[in-house]
Amino acid sequence: MLIRLGSFLAAGAAAYIVLSVIFSFVCLGLGHNTMEMMYGGTALYVLTLAAAVEGAWLLPDEIRNSPSVGRLVQRIASR
C-alpha cells in the first residue's frame, strides 16, 4: 500500500510539472483566451490525476516484490 501511495505521489508530481510546463508554452505561443484558460486549468488536474493513478496501479510486480522495497516499507512502518 505504501509503495502504491509513494508511486502515486511521485507520478502525480512529475505529471503536474510536465503538464504545467506544456500548458504554459501553449499559452505563451498561441495566446491566452478564456476557453483555453478554463480547459488548461481543468485538464492539468484531470490529466495529472490520471497519470498518478496509472503510475500507481500499473507499478511493476518486480518493483513491488523486490527485497529493497520490502525493507524500505518495513522501515517506514516501524516509525
* pLDDT range class, residue 40, cuts 50, 70, 90: confident
pLDDT digit string, tens, across residues 5-24? 788 888 888 888 888 888 88
CA 46 to chain centre: 11
**Mean pLDDT calculated for residue range 58-68:** 69
Predicted local confidence at residue 12, as pLDDT: 85
DSSP class per residue in 58-78? T--HHHHT-HHHHHHHHHHHT
Please report which helix (H) or strand (E) contains residue 7, including its range: helix 2-30
Distance CA 40, CA 74 (A): 40
Question: Which residue has better confidence, 77 or 50?
Answer: 50
Sign of the torsion formed by the C-alpha atoms of 62, 67, 69 and 73: positive
